[in-house]
């Protein structure tokens, strides 16, 4: 997959933390617009819209292009969305995560095949629209089913983390728990990895792990900590 | 499912649009903490932490509870996460959506059964932790597979919307397109629904639809607009 400019999750959240910017993105998700159209659609002052458009453009979420005007007027500058992603934020008593996935180019190829199979692309416009409507509702239905199943899995994950945190609080000190959670949740491959993850010196981590091992059966300690090089 | 206080997506984005607040949520997702712990963990001034904690508490994302201190000291106030949701933000050239789903209680029942099936809950602590680690990695694997499939479907949806918007721009005026997109994407059941969705008078919508019908085959116009009461 070609490397495009990728906007990171923190920046996206900084951007989306503003109501006007969200409105601009919603408007542009219907179609590209030029400035006056956009300002009317969003319904706040032109200066504010201009400022937010600059922020959005700098972030890489939108871009501009020029389109010829009729009647010999100067080219018109249009704004359009320029990134394509799904950001999932999950928050529960035992878990906070943000995950950003691109709507991947390679996968678009796959789904294009899938699409051709279930779209007959009728010639007549009304018929094409009706067919798009039906396809969209099929896709939405499958998305809902998968999201429900994912919801079960997130819930399951939450329960697993809940038990983990309970064992952590009942048996370990604060500094030990940090290491424990990182090992169980992230499966680091080495002490060096672990050191990067939690920002502690390797020697310190080794000492803490020695204490932790002393609290459990030797064979099981080996299972849990044994793969750390 | 019992009705809990539900935090809406816009408020969540307002909240998450701040780096310190995100750090507080990440810290509390490991375990509840009292103020000094939290301030140390987040690493910014106490006044700032206090202000953000107030905002988070007002939003309903976190709550406090008191826990007895040792040695007869006053009770200690702890902060913990209090909502449980997955927020999915999807942005592409043809689509912007935010969807918030609770990690549903009813579904937790289902996944609890599932969980019991694949957790042997060993007695010894090290063994229990190793088993949790394995379960977690199985769940993560299944989540990844479902998310990849969902990604295909989102991509497919994007292509359908892309064709829709192309037909819209090629054949309809701006006010007609708004109605077209709402009908195809949201399948409203009545003119009144449609009027709510796009904030136009019903009489105006009826007039526009008459013009739109005139641009397409009568039978197909019936398929597309016919179910609007």
Full residue range of the structural domain in which residue B117 is found: 105-159
Reduce the secondary structure of chain B to three states and give it as a string. Answer: CCCCCCCCHHHHHHHHCCHHHHHHHHHHHHCCEEHHHHHHHHCCCHHHHHHHHHHHHHHCCEEEEEECCCCCCCCEEEEEECCCEEEEEEEECCEEEEEEEECCHHHHHHHHHHHHHHCCCCCCHHHHHHHHHHHHHHHHHHHHHHHHHHHHHHHHHHHHHHHHHHHHHHHCCHHHHHHHHHHHHHCCCCHHHHHHHHCCCHHHHHHHHHHHHHCCCHHHHHHHHCCCC
Residue A71 gets which letter from DSSP?
T
Do residues A104 and A67 both lie within one domain? no
Contact check, Cβ <8 Å, B152/A126: no
Q: What pLDDT is recorded for position A116?
A: 65
The verdict on a CB contact (< 8 Å) between B155 and A104 is: yes
pLDDT in single tens digits along all 229 residues of chain B: 233 445 677 888 888 889 899 999 988 888 889 999 999 988 889 999 999 999 999 988 899 999 877 777 788 899 998 877 778 888 877 777 777 777 655 555 666 666 665 555 677 888 889 888 988 998 889 988 888 888 888 878 888 888 888 899 899 998 899 899 999 988 888 999 999 888 889 999 999 999 999 998 888 888 888 878 7
Q: Which residues of B touch A25 (CB under 8 A)?
A: 91, 96
Size of interface A-B (CB pairs under 8 A): 308
Q: How far is A187 from chain B (nearest CA, A)?
A: 8
Which residues are CB-contacts of B227 (< 8 A; sequence separation ≥ 6)? Answer: B187, B189
Q: Which residues of B touch A128 (CB under 8 A)?
A: 163, 167
Give the pLDDT of residue B202: 93
Instruction: Find out whether B143 and A157 touch, Cβ atoms under 8 Å.
Output: yes
Min distance A54 CA to chain B CA atoms (Å): 18
> So what's the pLDDT on residue A118?
57
- Given A130, A157, A167, which is nearest B223 (Cβ)? A130
- The answer on B42 and B79 residing in a single domain is yes
Q: Which of A123, A30, A9 is nearest to A79 (CA)?
A: A30
Q: Which of B12, B155, B186 to mutate to test the interface with A (most CBs of A within 10 A)?
A: B155
The alpha-carbon gap from A183 to the nearest alpha carbon of chain B, in Å, equals: 8
pLDDT tens for residues A143-160? Answer: 888 888 887 888 788 888
Same domain, A68 and A115: no
In a domain, A3, yes or no: no
Interface test with A, best of B129, B142, B209 (most A CBs within 10 A): B129
Backbone angles phi, psi at A167, to 5 degrees: -60, -40
Which helix or strand (DSSP H or E) is residue A88 part of? Answer: strand A85-92
| Same domain? A79 vs A93 | no
Question: Which chain A residues are closer than 8 Å to B131 by Cβ?
Answer: none
For position B24, what pLDDT does the model report? 93
Q: Tell me whether residue B88 is in a domain.
A: no
- Distances A44 to A19, A28, A36, A38, B154 between C-alpha atoms, Å: 11, 16, 11, 10, 31
Would residue B208 count as lying in a domain? yes
The pLDDT value recorded for residue A1 is 28
- Separation of alpha carbons B208 and A132, rounded Å: 21
Identify whether residues A46 and A96 lie together within a single domain: no
The helix (H) or strand (E) run that includes residue A78 is strand A76-81
Three-state DSSP at A61 gives: coil
| Torsion from C-alpha of B48, B54, B57, B63, nearest 10 degrees | 80
Q: Evaluate whether residue A66 is within a structural domain.
A: yes
* Lowest-confidence region among A33-37, A100-104, A170-174: A100-104
Domain boundary among B159, B184, B201: B159
Same domain, A143 and A205: no
A163: nearest CB among B15, B126, B132: B132
The CA distance from B95 to the nearest CA of chain A, in Å, is 5
CATH number for the domain that contains residue A180 = 1.10.10
SS3 label, residue A96: strand
Taking only the tens place, the pLDDT of each residue in A5-50 is 456 778 888 888 898 999 999 888 888 899 999 999 888 899 999 9
pLDDT of residue B161: 86
Pairing of strands A95-102, B33-34: unpaired
Domain annotation covers residue B63? yes
The burial class, CB within 10 Å (0-12 / 13-18 / 19+), for B95 is buried
Q: Among A67, A83, A99, give the residue marking a domain's end.
A: A83
In this predicted model, what pLDDT tens digit does every residue of A60-86 receive, in sequence order?
889 999 987 777 778 889 999 887 777
Locate tokens 């704004």: which residue? A79
Task: Give me the residue label for tokens 């996206």.
Answer: A12
Judge whether B215 lies within some domain: yes
Q: Which residues contact A222 (CB under 8 A, 6 or more apart)?
A: none
Which of helix, strand or coil describes residue A10?
Answer: helix
Name, in order, each residue with C-beta under 8 angstroms of B186's C-beta and a sequence gap of 6 or more.
B197
Where among A61, A83, A105 does a domain terminate?
A: A83
| B15 and B78 both lie in a single domain | yes
- Same domain flag for A42 and A101: no
Q: Do A30 and B177 touch (CB under 8 A)?
A: yes
| Domain membership flag for residue B48 | yes
State how many domains chain A has: 3
The ipTM of this complex is: 0.73
Distance from CA of A127 to the nearest CA of B (A): 5
CATH, residue A40? 1.10.10.10
CA distance A33 to chain B (A): 11
Which chain B residues contact residue A132 at CB under 8 A? 160, 163-164, 167, 184
Q: Do B179 and B122 fall into the same domain?
A: no
Q: Which residues of B touch A83 (CB under 8 A)?
A: 91
Residues B62 and B128 in one domain: no
CB contact under 8 A, A223 and B126: yes
At A170, which helix (H) or strand (E)?
Answer: helix A125-171
Beta-carbon separation of B13 and A14 below 8 A? no
A90, A106: one domain: yes
Residue A167 counted as domain residue = no
Alpha-carbon span A156 to B144, nearest angstrom: 14
A76 with A13, same domain: the answer is: yes
Contact residues, chain B, for A158 at CB < 8 Å: 84, 103
Minimal Cα distance from B188: which residue of A?
A133
């Amino acid at each position: 997959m070609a490397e495009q400019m990728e906007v990171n999750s923190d920046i996206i959240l900084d951007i989306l933390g503003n109501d006007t910017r969200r409105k601009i993105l919603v408007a542009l998700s219907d179609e590209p617009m030029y400035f006056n159209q956009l300002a009317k659609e969003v319904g706040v002052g032109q200066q504010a819209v201009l400022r937010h458009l600059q922020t959005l453009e700098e972030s890489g979420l939108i871009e501009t292009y020029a389109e010829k005007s009729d009647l010999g007027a100067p080219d018109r500058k249009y704004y359009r969305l320029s990134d394509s992603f799904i950001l999932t934020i999950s928050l529960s008593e035992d878990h906070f995560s943000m995950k950003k996935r691109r709507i991947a180019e390679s996968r678009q190829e796959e789904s294009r095949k899938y699409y051709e199979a279930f779209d007959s692309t009728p010639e007549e416009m009304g018929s094409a629209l009706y067919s798009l409507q039906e396809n969209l509702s099929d896709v939405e239905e499958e998305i809902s089913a998968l999201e429900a199943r994912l919801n079960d899995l997130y819930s399951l994950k939450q329960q697993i983390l809940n038990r983990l945190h309970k064992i952590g609080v009942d048996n370990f000190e604060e500094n030990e728990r940090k290491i424990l959670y990182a090992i169980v949740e992230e499966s680091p491959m080495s002490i060096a990895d672990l050191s990067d993850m939690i920002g502690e010196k390797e020697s310190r981590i080794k000492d803490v792990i020695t204490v932790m091992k002393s609290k459990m059966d030797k064979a099981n300690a080996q299972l849990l900590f044994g793969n750390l090089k």
